Amino acid sequence: MKIIDIRLKQSEVDMLCSMIGKKLIALRHDEFQFTPTSSQVVEMVTENASYYLYSFTECLDYYGTKEDVAVWSISDDKLPIIDKKAFIKTPVNEVVKGITLIQENQRLFENGKQTYDVWVTRGIIFEVGDRQIAFEKDVWFSEEIVVHRGYELSKQFSPAGDFCEHWDSSVRAECSREEVDLKPID
Query: How do residues 115-127 score in pLDDT, each as one tens digit?
Result: 999 999 999 999 9
Question: What is the per-residue pLDDT for 21?
Answer: 96
Question: What is the per-residue pLDDT for 140?
Answer: 84
Q: What average pLDDT does this structure show over 3-13?
A: 97
Q: Number of helices (H) and strands (E), helices first, in the chain?
A: 1, 11
Whole-prediction pTM value? 0.95
Burial bucket for residue 52 (CB in 10 Å: 0-12, 13-18, 19+): buried
φ, ψ for residue 160, nearest 5 deg: -60, -30
Distance between start and end Cα atoms, the chain: 39
Residue 35 φ/ψ region, left for φ over 0, alpha for ψ in the -120 to 50 degree band, beta for the rest: beta
Residues 128-148: pLDDT tens digits? 989 999 999 988 889 999 999
Question: What sign does the dihedral 43-46-50-55 (CA atoms) show?
Answer: negative
Question: What is the per-residue pLDDT for 169?
Answer: 87
